[in-house]
Structure 1
Amino acid sequence: MDFDTLVTSRRSVRGYKKDPVPRELIDEVIRLAKYAPSSMNTQPWHVHVLTGEALDEVRRRNMAAMTQANAEVKRDIVTHKPYDGIHRFRQVDIAKRLFAAMGIARDDKEGRQDWVLRGFRQFDAPVSLILTYDRDLDPGAVVHFDMGAIGYGIALAAWSKGLGCVTNGQGIMRSDIVRDVIGVPEDEVIMTAIAMGWPDDSFVANHVRSDREPNENFVRYHGFD
């Protein structure tokens, strides 16, 4: 597909078929994504690809830890405070759309809990890509920008091959569990996870699209006539 179609048709996929994704196809997605720009060509990223028993164990232990009373988030990166203002509005807006599509009412505690658990399970995707970077690049404002670039590259490359993705921070709320299961070296910081697989078109939430602000709301031009 042409680039315009690629970027405007891509969507976050939260429901997947059970079909496995060939390792060769995943490798091709990463091969394309690695052409993302990085500061001073540092290419600071590492990608750990999980499937099968390794992913199942991460999924199981992460969900068990995060559903305990007084569950504690243990992410490698420093997380932001709760969203507020326009950011909170956008967060709530997409949640409302997803819940409406799934038929989850405001007072449906069981349905809402099930949705949270889906996130902890990385939406039951057959593949998870754990993105890490070299710890000696912290504090990480610049490297986080670079990691976002390859993350978007993965999402676009996957979409171009018929695969779906969703960036899934819930899946690594317990970075210590991920590190323990797959042996992430201590000199790598776990940034986020990307769930990947073949989109299940029967999963209604996959058809929910988020809005984008018009350019005039966030773009400022300087020095033009």
Structure 2
Amino acid sequence: MDYDDVVLGRRSIRGYLRKPVSRSLIEEVLALAMRSPSSMNTQPWHFHVVTGEPLDRIRRGNTERILAGEPDSREFRRGDPFAGVHRERQIGVAKQLFTAMDIARDDKDKRQDWVLRGFRQFDAPVCVIIAYDRELSGSDDTAFDCGAVTTALVNAAWSRGLGCVINSQGIMQSPVVREHVGIPDDQVILKAVAMGWPDNSFPANAVVSERRAVKDAARFVGFD
């Protein structure tokens, strides 16, 4: 695919076909993603790629703990809730998704099912857990570098016909993830990426989130 086609065509995929993804294809995608730049070439990222029964156990553990009222145990730092224009954008994409999925504002069952879908990694056949070396926890560059490689990962996957959605729901219950994946203690769990073949009949997959115009996001100095 042409680079512009990848960037302009990629969407967050929340519905997947029940079709496995080969290890060789995932390795190909990761090799492309790992060409991402990092501060001083530190390459702080680790990828834990999970499928099959281990992933099913994570899904069950996540949802059982959430439904039981277990507080989340996300390991990477969390900021304050979004406010102002950032909250407006968050609400905006939620409205797009709920409209596509025909989820009414007062339909508590459908809303809960949608939330739990996230904790099940959107029922994707593959989950890629992004972690980084704990000894780098004090470095601001590390989170930036992992964000860059994750963006490269979802774009590389899209170029090969795979869909992804970056999320935190899948790693909110970190003890469950650590238990079933065997992530070593010297790594910090950062994010999860659900991955698989897009189900084009799933309504939310057609949603294209709105983007700011360049004129609203960028200032140009010295270009007169």
TM range (shorter): over 0.9
Question: Letter of the aligned partner of 1:48 in structure 2?
Answer: H
**SS of residue matched to 1:59:** helix
TM-score w.r.t. the length of structure 1 is: 0.98
Question: Letter of the aligned partner of 1:34 in structure 2?
Answer: M
1:59 is the counterpart of 2:67: no
**SS of residue matched to 1:17:** coil
**SS of residue matched to 1:96:** helix
1:126 is the counterpart of 2:133: no
- Deviation of residue 98 (structure 1)? 0.4
- Deviation of residue 140 (structure 1)? 4.1
Task: Measure, in 1, the Cα distance between the counterparts of 2:85 and 2:140.
Answer: 22
Match of 1:46 in 2: 46
**Percent identical residues:** 55
Match of 1:167 in 2: 166
- Whether contact under 8 Å (1:129, 1:196) holds in the other structure is yes
Match of 1:18 in 2: 18
- Deviation of residue 216 (structure 1)? 1.3
1:215 is the counterpart of 2:214: yes
- Whether contact under 8 Å (1:128, 1:195) holds in the other structure is yes
Task: Measure, in 2, the Cα distance between the counterparts of 1:141 and 1:177.
Answer: 27
Deviations along 1:154-210, one digit per CA (max 9) or x if unpaired, are 100100000000002101101121111111011000001000000000101000010
Task: Measure, in 2, the Cα distance between the counterparts of 1:157 and 1:29.
Answer: 5
Unmatched 5+ residue regions in structure 1?
A: none
Match of 1:152 in 2: 151
- Whether contact under 8 Å (1:77, 1:191) holds in the other structure is yes
Match of 2:31 in 1: 31
**SS of residue matched to 1:79:** coil
**In terms of mean alpha carbon deviation, does 160-169 or 134-143 score higher?**
134-143
- Whether contact under 8 Å (1:75, 1:176) holds in the other structure is no
Task: Measure, in 1, the Cα distance between the counterparts of 2:115 and 2:35.
Answer: 33
Task: Measure, in 1, the Cα distance between the counterparts of 2:30 and 2:60.
Answer: 26
Task: Measure, in 2, the Cα distance between the counterparts of 1:16 and 1:29.
Answer: 18
- Deviation of residue 220 (structure 1)? 1.2
Match of 1:142 in 2: 141
